[in-house]
Structure 1
Amino acid sequence: MKRILFLFTILIFSQQGQAQEELNKKFTPIPPKDANTKEVAPPKEAPPKNDPPAVAEKPDPYKINPDELFKNTNLYKQEANVEGIFYRRNQFLGSIKTTGLTSTIRYRDAAFVDGDKVRVYLNDKVIQPEVSLDGEFKSLKINLVQGINKIDIEALNEGFASPNTAEFQVFDDKGIVVSSSEWNVGTGYKAVIVLVKE
């Protein structure tokens, strides 16, 4: 009898172990998707840019830096730091490229004709030792060399009224004006223009 009772107990417990508890609970449905809520798409990644490498520009061998140019104390008088006087310094009047064989420079006194005198250099060599400026243009024809043709115009005095004032014009070999400007420099200072023959 004990054996039957033992077998019966084991049978009841084994039935209880195989029953599924999930089925005894109440069913909870999965809620449907809300129709008003839109699904947000992930942001699109931009493809990496394939920029071509930056092309290194070839430095211009004929580029003139006036600050470096005027540092040469053998050729250029240093600027005088006098308050209120702005003409006691050198002036850079620009760099012009040309393909011509010659160039003509014309100059005259730009203000009151007061006896201003200048000296003209080409590549640091004197080509006009003394020129008196008056109201009429005087001209100087220059045979250009390949590359840099640096023209310095030095004020030899300031006349009766300071500073030394002058107007200049640069013509190419076809007679076309390529530059025109004025300078106001003190005695011993220079106005510089560069013609680059390509």
Structure 2
Amino acid sequence: MYLIRLKNRNPFLLLIFILCISMQGYAQKELENKFKPIPSKTPKTKEVIPPTEEAPKVNPPAPVEKPDPSKIDPNELFKNTNLYKQEANVPGIFYRQNQFLGSFKTSTFTSTIRYRDAAFVDGDKIKVYLNDKVIEPEVSMKGEYQGFKITLVPGINKIDFEALNEGSASPNTAEFQVYDDKGAVIESSQWNVGTGYKATIVLYKE
């Protein structure tokens, strides 16, 4: 209604009025774009999330290793006073004790044992046992190899060579060889023991 009156009275005033209204709207829009709210000085409290509890790590028990039945401890073996003469603590004399010649695994059915005097023939004599049973009650050692064949049982086959004397030159000495049923050497060595002591080798048949 007011605009109609202005139009009727003076068109120029109407134009000025419309320009003023447009500029006012534009100014308000500019102020809205430039206005930025002032952040609060009091910071917002962050929500604290409690840490999650982890179950303690439980290490699995270490696997229990089964003892190897082929491994023979000579110290335990020679403790048996019913089978083995005990070591004589004589300074400087190394052969007043039993001698362990080793433990060996094999799949052979039979084994051949050979032996001879290690140095010169001086009258050395031995007795041979297989699993604590006498198989050769008295053998005089010679310069050439002699021996016997045994049938192996599953598990431990223990062979003892007992010195019956020391001949004319101490100790009782011998070279020995152990073969499988195909002629392959399982062990080759020598023993040096005093009278009454034993040299022992173990064949473990798998």
Check whether TM > 0.5.
yes
Q: Name the amino acid aligned to 1:192.
A: T
RMSD of aligned residue pairs (Cα, Å): 1.7
TM-score, normalised relative to structure 2: 0.70
Q: What is the SS of the residue equivalent to 2:101?
A: strand
Match of 1:187 among 174, 183, 195: 195
Corresponding position: 1:105 with 2:119: no
Contact 2:70 2:105 in 1 (8 A): no
SS at match of 2:75: helix
Shift of 1:105: 0.5
Structure-2 residue corresponding to 1:65: 73
Give the secondary structure class of the aligned counterpart of 2:191: strand
User: What TM-score comes out, normalization by structure 1 length?
Assistant: 0.72
Q: Is the 8 A contact 2:70 2:103 kept in 1?
A: no
- Counterpart in the other structure of 1:153: 161
For 1:108-127, what per-residue CA distance to the aligned partner results, in whole angstroms no more than 9, with x for missing partners? 00012101000000000000
Find out whether 1:77 has 2:85 as its counterpart: yes
Who wins on radius of gyration, i.e. which is larger? 2
Instruction: Give the alignment partner of residue 91 of structure 1, picking from 72, 88, 99.
Output: 99
Q: Percent of counterpart pairs with the same letter?
A: 78
Q: CA deviation at 1:50?
A: 10
1:135-163: CA deviation from partner (whole Å, max 9, x where unpaired): 10002101101100000000000000000
**Partner SS state of residue 67, structure 1:** helix
The Cα offsets for residues 38-90 of structure 1, whole Å up to 9 and x where unpaired, read as xxxxxxxxxxx998764332211332110011010110000111111110100
Unpaired runs of 5+ residues, structure 1, are 1-48
Aligned to 2:63: 55
Partners of 2:132 and 2:141 lie apart in 1 by 21
Report the counterpart of residue 37 of structure 2 in structure 1: none
